[in-house]
Structure 1
């Protein structure tokens, strides 16, 4: 049994589809592929994603061990950076294949 938040799935494909199918999740994963980013950087790079939605999706990705958050205290400030975990990095080929499939088989107006 696979559990995401309060929902349970008997199929791992369905569970992963539930994660990757959420708005902005694949974009967040793709944006974090090469380097860690601060929250504000992510929000600027993901045009149209609200602060609330980005926060919710990052929380989901951290709960699933896909994204990690590192906090560094420097004087009176806390710098928080997000990056893909090993699990998150292993999703990159899947997201890349989704992009390739979409480019080859879907039409955009």
Structure 2
């Protein structure tokens, strides 16, 4: 059984699809593939994603162990750096295969 957002799934593919199907999730993962990013950098890299939505989706990814939030306290301020966990890194080839399949089999309105 797989518990995602308090919904129980018996199929792991359905559980992963629920995570990746959330708005902005795949883009966040893809943006973090090559480097660690601070919140503001990540927000600027994702055009159209509001601060509130980015916070919510990062929380989902952190809760699922896909993204790590490395917090450092410096002079009474907290710096958060986000990066992919080992599990998140292992999602990248799956996402690349999904993109390749989509490009080959789904019409894009061209």
Query: TM-score surpassing 0.5?
Result: yes
Structure 2: give runs of 5+ residues left out of the alignment: none
Q: Secondary structure at the match of 1:48?
A: coil
Whole-Å separation in 2 of the counterparts to 1:80 and 1:45? 16
* Number of residue-to-residue matches in the alignment: 109
- State how 1:1-109 maps to structure 2 within 5 Å: 1-109=1-109
Whole-Å separation in 2 of the counterparts to 1:95 and 1:11? 18
Which whole-Å deviations, capped at 9, do the CAs of 1:11-55 have from their partners, x for residues lacking one?
A: 101000000111111110000001110111111111111111111
Whole-Å separation in 1 of the counterparts to 2:50 and 2:25? 13
Q: TM-score, normalized by length of structure 2?
A: 0.94
Over the aligned positions, Cα root-mean-square deviation in angstroms equals: 1.0
Shift of 1:77: 2.0
Q: Secondary structure at the match of 2:87?
A: helix
